[in-house]
Amino acid sequence: MINSRQLTLQLTVRYFIAALFWIPVVFFSLLLVRNTIPYFSFSQEFSFIQERAVLFARSIYKYSFYTHIFAGMVCISTALIQFSTLIIKKRKRIHIWSGRIYVMVVLLLGAPTGLYMSFFAKGSYWERILFMFMAVYWFYTTMQGFTTILKKNVLAHKIWMIRSYSMAMTAVTFRVYYILFYYFGMDLLHNYEISLWISVLGNMLVAEFLIFRKSRTYLKTFLT
């Protein structure tokens, strides 16, 4: 038998670990949103735009870029709401509507523009392939998350949305790794390539670990 003191300690440890995970996630997500907003001044002074001046001369690329970063802001903001247990239990309508916004923005805006822009991505052939994979994987996992909840399969819905969110969060984790490697003196091109690969593969591994834990918890609850 687990006494009340042991139960309290277990809950405290659980909440502490959750805080260690979610506080940086929320902080860096909101920081990314904040840093993205100035792009909508449509100034040409940003280094990213200056480096790709030839591409930005094409209307389709320019509109894809602004659509993509807008979609990224919306997806990261709405996704933070999706994993709040409090909102799911107490404010389910908020969860439902923010989820609908997330899904529609990914499927109609974020993933398609990401796929188009991947053909012109910075880096080698392999980085372009990786960006293509990210766009397709993001679209597929989000679609699976949407179709499974329509079938009332809540566990599968959670699993696929964790995978979808892992792709949305590459925009955040990439910048964290890039800043870290920059301070270690890594040259910019290698920093870009390594940060990108670590971000994508790392996020996928973390997602699968969280899915494993959630599935194991579900099985324990179901079998007891």
Per the CB < 8 A criterion, the answer to whether 200 and 134 are in contact is yes
Examine residue 17 and state whether it is found in any structural domain, yes or no: no
Q: What's the mean pLDDT when you consider all of the chain?
A: 85
Q: What Cα–Cα distance (Å) separates residue 138 from each residue in 130, 143, 155?
A: 12, 9, 19
Examine residue 107 and state whether it is found in any structural domain, yes or no: yes
Examine residue 16 and state whether it is found in any structural domain, yes or no: no
Domain housing 90: 25-38+46-223
The pair of structure tokens assigned to 138 is 């993001």
Q: What is the pTM of this model?
A: 0.86
Query: Of 34-43, 100-109, 195-204, where does mean pLDDT reach its minimum?
Result: 34-43
- In this prediction, residue 14 carries a pLDDT of 61
Examine residue 7 and state whether it is found in any structural domain, yes or no: no
pLDDT in tens, 169-189: 999 999 999 999 999 889 888
**Stronger pLDDT, 94 or 139, i.e. the higher one:** 139
Query: Of 88-97, 133-142, 196-205, where does mean pLDDT reach its minimum?
Result: 88-97
Query: For 77, how many CA atoms within 13 A lie in the half-sphere containing its CB?
Result: 16
Examine residue 2 and state whether it is found in any structural domain, yes or no: no
223 pLDDT more than 50: no
The count of structural domains within the chain is 1
- Between CA 219 and CA 3 the distance in angstroms is 23
Examine residue 122 and state whether it is found in any structural domain, yes or no: yes
Examine residue 197 and state whether it is found in any structural domain, yes or no: yes
Of all residues in the chain, the percent with pLDDT exceeding 90 is: 53
- In this prediction, residue 103 carries a pLDDT of 95
Examine residue 215 and state whether it is found in any structural domain, yes or no: yes
